[in-house]
């Protein structure tokens, strides 16, 4: 709770204390509080996005934006044990599944340039991302005719176990399969990189490496059945249980819109 409070209040503390306290004599050209505005488009491990940034101080800037990850992929689930039907074991047909990333989120970050009185390209960043708690969804549906041909009657479809991560789920009565990976909606963030949020020229470039702290992922489903014990997990399933931090690697193209224009003069 304390960590969440810290990351939530950091941008507003910077907004109030640094933005109001600075004077024209201590700020290099192009670094007046709210004196200019930069926008950027980026591609990252969290998807595609855009952001806007404005200086609060010669070495501190405020950045806000939005990210979305419209990625999906299909795969075939065939890790079925043989299924018992009235004392006879039969092979369950393969199941086609579609996984989609659901990582749309807004972010509010404070960038700090610790060297050369704010004119270095190196920066540190802290803040938070907030958005959907469903990081990944998995959907699919059994071919009921294929099940019948394999000797599995419709009334037994809800007994078919499907293991996703550390969870075992079962289809609904129509053969539908649905599950999602649940994480925290509020994700504190820290990062570092090179480049300016507001370039000295009209256009600039920026690289950033950071981490989102989204907590321990959990598989949830309308047809949830059971959870595997830790000592039963291996490989990818074990990694999924321990995947508490999501890496952020991004490349940004930045554009300066204004230069020392007090377009938000009410903040002074």
- CATH number of the domain that residue 117 is part of: 2.40.160
Q: For residue range 88-100, list pLDDT tens digits in order.
A: 899 999 999 998 8
- Which among 4, 22, 27, 61 has a CA at the least distance from the CA of 215? 4
The sheet carrying 95-101 orders its strands as 72-77, 95-101, 134-141, 176-182, 218-220
DSSP annotation of 117: G
- Which among 62, 55, 63 has a CA at the least distance from the CA of 26? 55
Q: Where in the sequence is the domain holding 246, given as residue range(s)?
A: 2-267
State how many domains the chain has.
1
pLDDT score, position 197:
87
pLDDT score, position 259:
62
* Phi, psi (deg, nearest 5) at residue 233: -85, 145
Query: Does the pLDDT value for residue 199 go beyond 90?
Result: no
Q: Tell me the three state secondary structure of residue 188.
A: strand
pLDDT score, position 239:
56
Q: What is the rounded distance in angstroms from the CA atom of residue 160 to the CA atom of residue 80?
A: 9
């Amino acid at each position: 709770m304390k960590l969440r409070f810290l990351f939530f209040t950091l941008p507003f503390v910077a907004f109030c204390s640094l933005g109001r306290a600075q004077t024209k004599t201590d700020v290099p050209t192009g670094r007046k509080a709210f004196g200019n505005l930069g926008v950027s488009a980026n591609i990252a491990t969290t998807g595609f996005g855009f952001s806007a940034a404005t200086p609060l101080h010669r070495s501190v800037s405020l950045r806000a934006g939005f990210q979305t990850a419209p990625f999906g992929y299909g795969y075939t689930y065939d890790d079925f044990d043989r299924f018992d039907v009235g004392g006879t074991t039969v092979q369950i047909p393969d199941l086609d599944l579609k996984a989609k990333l659901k990582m749309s989120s807004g972010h509010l970050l404070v960038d700090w340039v610790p060297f050369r009185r704010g004119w270095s390209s190196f920066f540190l960043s802290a803040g938070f991302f907030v958005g959907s708690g469903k990081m990944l969804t998995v959907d699919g549906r059994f071919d009921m005719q294929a099940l019948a041909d394999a000797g599995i009657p419709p009334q037994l479809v809800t007994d078919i176990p499907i293991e996703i991560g550390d969870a075992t789920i079962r289809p609904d009565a129509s053969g539908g399969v649905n599950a999602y990976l649940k994480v925290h909606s509020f994700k504190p963030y820290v990062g570092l990189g090179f480049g300016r949020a507001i370039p000295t020229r009209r256009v600039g470039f920026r690289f950033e490496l950071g981490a989102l702290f989204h907590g321990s992922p959990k598989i949830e489903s309308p047809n949830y059945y059971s959870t595997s014990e830790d000592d039963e997990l291996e490989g990818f399933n074990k990694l999924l249980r321990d995947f508490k931090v999501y890496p952020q690697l991004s490349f940004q193209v930045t554009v300066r819109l204004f230069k020392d224009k007090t377009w938000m003069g009410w903040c002074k």
